[in-house]
Amino acid sequence: MKTINVTDTVQYIGVDDKTIDLFESQYVVPNGVSYNSYVILDEKTAVMDSVDARGTKEWFANLEHALDGRTPDYLVVNHLEPDHAGNIQRFMEKYPKAQLVTNQRALSMLPQFFSMDMSGRSVVVKEGDELSLGSHLLTFVMAPMVHWPEVMVTYEKTEKVLFSADAFGKFGALDADEAWTCEARRYFINIVGKYGAQVQALLKKAKELDIRFICPLHGPVLSGDLSVYLEKYDIWSSYRPEDEGIVIACASVHGNTKAAAKELAAILEEKGAKKVSFFDLARDDMAEALEDAFRYDKMVLASTTYDAGLFPGMESFLARLKSKNYQKRTVGLIENGSWAPMAGKLMKDCLSQMKEITLAEPVVTIKSTLNAQSREQLEQLADALLN
């Protein structure tokens, strides 16, 4: 059982999950993940979101501890994805007098997840609606597509707390000994990254609020100088490069394409590149490769031609880049093909569908292994990337 005071009357009652193999069935989480939930204690008590079904027992124990014999009046549902909504029905069954507070979009999606009819026990809220708990006043702010269409965030005016749903969340259990930025960036780019415009819209609304604490649905409660986090979110959601550096991502069958990519990395470092970040797309965490692709201003893609197409790791990586709106970057290409190299053309075609991509020339062509001519091309590509 674990509850943490955010303030005297706002308590954290979430749970850590350190045994999940893959978050959302695709993301490795070496330090686990937290499913956050909060209780506001006032004349009326409000529970802010539930947790994943994996944390049911612990969450109810935390909730009971925080309530200390009281009965909850409201369950505010900011986001309906199962990692937060997994216990809505159990909660409503356990506390038959409690009311569900959410927006119409979420309410209409509820029957897709739960058999219980909650329409008669719901308070439907829209943009700007308020709900008084006594001395605390909740204001509801719609945040569609950050990260699902029904998402809203809730601002508590008295203690200046923003319950921000997935926004400002990160991978990692609460006791993970790691900085916020790296795992918050990997989380953002991979999970919310596609919806930059919607995050920008939320940031605009957040600017109008006086915020002391940000209480997200994953990761630590943020306090102190919040401009640090807001600034990162502004950069990430506007797709601006955050740092100067070159990502090299390779997809190699027998290692020759990888050797060429490694050689380029060495040349770049020798010529004074500030930062080179290298990924083998068959072996390294693709979510981290994607994170770095958005973090840095330049990238080199190196792929073998395979079945007249791209080797699967590169095909998948490009699909993810496109899906997350990769843009505003300089990209170089290395292709390999023992008899009919096609990878360069295919990667170029894919990049042409993305906004504001500058191609660094030349495209390096390898036929099986590097030779004097392709080594010369690597040198030229390195110069183009550094100039």
Please tell me the distance from the alpha carbon of residue 323 to that of residue 62, in angstroms, as a whole number. 38
Spatial separation of the C-alpha atoms in residues 103 and 113, rounded to whole Å: 16
Per DSSP (E only), the strands in 324-387 are 329-336, 357-366
Contact criterion met (CB below 8 Å) for 253 and 280? no
With vertex at residue 99, the alpha carbon angle to CA 95 and CA 103, rounded to the nearest 5 degrees, is 140
Residue 278 Cβ, how far from ligand FEO at the closest point, in Å? Answer: 30
CB–CB of 72/95 below 8 Å? yes
Residue closer to ligand FEO (CB basis): 136 or 218? 218
Residue 378: phi and psi, rounded to 5, are -60, -45
Give the CB-nearest residue to ligand FEO: 81
What minimum distance in Å lies between the beta carbon of 186 and ligand FEO? 14
| Nearer Cβ to ligand FEO (113/148) | 148
Residue 110 C-beta: closest distance to ligand FEO, Å: 16
Closer Cβ to ligand FEO, 23 or 311, answer by number:
23
Residue among 24 and 376 whose Cβ is closer to ligand FEO: 24
For residues 16 and 83, which CB has a smaller minimum distance to ligand FEO in the complex?
A: 83
CB of 148 to ligand FEO, least distance (A): 6
CB of 79 to ligand FEO, least distance (A): 6
Cα distances (Å, whole numbers) of residue 95 to 38, 60, 63, 75: 17, 11, 12, 10
Q: With respect to ligand FEO, which residue has the nearer C-beta, 79 or 185?
A: 79
Nearest approach, Cβ of residue 166 and ligand FEO (Å): 4
Report in angstroms how near the CB of residue 168 gets to ligand FEO at its nearest.
11
Tokens representing 135 are 């001395």
| Token reading at 35 | 């499913």
Smallest distance, Å, CB 36 to ligand FEO? 9
- CA 2 to the chain's CA centroid: 26
Nearest alpha carbon to residue 49 among 58, 59, 61, 57: 59
Strand order in the sheet with 10-12: 4-5, 10-12, 38-41, 45-48, 74-76, 99-102, 122-124
How many Å apart are CA 161 and CA 164, to the nearest integer? Answer: 9
Q: Which is nearer to ligand FEO, 222 or 264 (CB)?
A: 222
Q: Helices H, strands E: what count in the chain?
A: 12, 20
Compute φ and ψ for 175, nearest 5 degrees: -90, 10
Selection from 229, 267, 261 nearest residue 248 by Cα: 261
Q: Which residues bind ligand FEO (CB under 6 A)?
A: 79, 81, 83-84, 147-148, 166, 217-218
Which is closer to ligand FEO, CB of 51 or CB of 276?
A: 51
Min CB(217)–ligand FEO separation in Å? 5
Residue placing its CB nearer to ligand FEO in the complex, 83 or 280: 83
On whether the CB atoms of residues 161 and 212 are closer than 8 A, the answer is yes
